[in-house]
Amino acid sequence: MTDIEAPEVARTEGEFTVRQRSQTRMVLRRFVRHRAAMISLVVFVLIVLWAFVGPHLWHYSYQKFTPDNSQPPSWKHPFGTDSSGYDGYAQVMRGTQTSLKIALMIGLGSTLVGSVWGAVAGFYRGLVDTMLMRIADLVLTLPLLAIALVISSRSGGSWYWIAIVIAGLTWAYVARVVRSSVLSLREKEFVEAARALGSSDTRIIFRHLLPNALGPIIVNATVLVATGILTETALSFLGFGVQPPDTSLGLLVAQAQTAVDTRPWLFYIPGAFIIAIALTVNFIGDGLRDAFDPRQQRVRQ
């Protein structure tokens, strides 16, 4: 029996049907399923938009005072006014904006520094690792608030200095996490493959190791943003954070301490925003952590 013919039968690309989901899509899918995280994401995005776009749409500025002093919330002033007549709505918007800027910068800065630090330590191991991580450990032992107080009291109140100071103390957490990720990743065969191709160490770290450690990095970044908000609040509360005429949520709360009973809107409204931001960011972090969880990977055939 020779030449068995196979007439035109549509050959489907069966190989790609199930595996279509790229990793990113899988992660997104799992995130979307985490209801608390999704709601938090929406709320957070709304807050951010409100804080950054809102001031341009509002007729009062946070810097100019109005003739209405110590007014409770009304249609004219939705968040009331304080004793000097500053509009509460504008103040809280501005305050949120500043606090967010600080928190996001903390998240970004310490993640960048910490990731590279941890990756280099984990990759080279040995003496380099020991030295780098001892420094990181040292930084971790420093009392965050105390140091921040000292440094920021000398630097004036600009928001980016505060962010830099806090980031300069929290990067060590990220470094730890990234280092342990890299320690296990570096044993993977695709790293050996890169070496076999003649790849430089820098290339291996930035092209192969860090992208694969993205899961824990992102999750930690959200934690840092939440920590950032709360730390800035604490600093400003103690008077060492943002200084007037600029304002932040922490500062607003600090200034409203004495008015808690008489003019509660000045205290509780910024306070609520602080809590809202910290909570939503935490939930987003939870959702991301679940989404990146390797144990939930689809079973490989």
Partner 1 sequence: MNPTTDLAGREPILQVRDLVKHFPVMSGGVVRRRVGDVHAVCGVSFDLHEHETLGLVGESGSGKTTVSRTVLGLETATSGQVRYQGRELTELSRRQMRPLRRELQIVFQDPYASLDPMITVHELVAEPLRIHGRYGPGAGDEVRELLRLVGLNPEHGNRYAHEFSGGQRQRIGIARALALRPRVVVLDEPVSALDVSIQAGVLNLLMDLQSELGLSFLFVAHDLSVMRHVADRVAVMYLGRLVEVAPARQLFARPAHPYTQALVSAIPLPDPRKERARKRVPVQGEVPSPVRPPSGCRFRTRCPKFADQLTESERAACVEKVPELVDRGGGYPVACHYAESVELL
Partner 2 sequence: MTDTVLEVADLAVEFPTEDGTVRAVRGVGYRLGRGEALGIVGESGSGKSVTALAVMGLLPATARIRGSVRFDGEELLGLSDARLSEVRGKGIAMVFQDPMTSLNPVYAVGYQIAETLLRHNPGMKARAARERAIELLGAVGIPSPERRVDAYPHEMSGGMRQRVVIAIAMANDPDVIIADEPTTALDVTVQAQVLDALETARAETGAALVLITHDLGVVAGHTDRVAVMYAGRMVETGSVEDIFYTPRMPYTLGLLGSLPRLDREEARLTPITGSPPSLLHLPPGCPFTPRCPLARDACLSAEPPLRPAGAEGHLSACHFSEELVGTGAEEVFETAGADSEALARFADAAPLNTPEEGTV
Amino acid sitting at position 239? G
Do the beta carbons of residue 118 and residue 217 sit within 8 Å?
no
| Cα–Cα distance for residue pair 271/243, rounded to 1 Å | 18
Interacting residues with partner 2 between 189 and 218 (CB under 8 A): none
Q: Is 29 exposed, middle or buried (0-12, 13-18, 19+ CB in 10 A)?
A: exposed
Residue 207 interacting with partner 1 (CB under 8 A): yes
Beta strands in 76-145 (DSSP E): none
For partner 2, the closer CB: 6 or 197: 6
**Of 17, 24, 141, 262, which one interacts with partner 2 (CB under 8 A)?**
17
- Which of 200, 257, 258, 296 binds partner 1 (CB under 8 A)? It is 200
Q: Residue 20 binds which entry of partner 1, partner 2, none, with Cβ cut-offs from 5 to 8 Å by kind?
A: partner 1
Which span sits near partner 2 by CB under 8 A: 4-12, 76-84, 205-213, 246-254? 4-12
Among positions 208, 249, 255, 271, the unique one binding partner 1 when judged by CB under 8 A: 208
**301 makes contact with partner 2 (CB under 8 A):** yes
Instruction: Please tell me whether residue 14 binds partner 2 under the rule CB under 8 A.
Output: yes
* Rounded Cα distance, 110 and 74, in Å: 41
In the block, residue with structure tokens 């399923």: 33
Contact 172, 114 (CB under 8 A): yes
Q: What are phi and psi of 264, to 5 degrees?
A: -60, -25
Binding to partner 2 (CB under 8 A) within 260-299 occurs at: 298
β-bridge mates for residue 87, sequence order = 81
Our finding on whether 59 is near partner 2 (CB under 8 A) is no
List residues bridging with 55 in a β-sheet: none
Binder among 1, 4, 10, 196 for partner 1 (CB under 8 A): 196
**Which residues, at least 6 apart from 8, have a Cβ–Cβ distance to it below 8 Å?**
none
Binding site for partner 1 (CB under 8 A): 15-16, 19-20, 22-23, 188-190, 192-200, 203, 207-208, 211-212, 214, 300-301
Binding site for partner 2 (CB under 8 A): 1-2, 4, 6-7, 9, 11-12, 14-15, 17-18, 298, 301
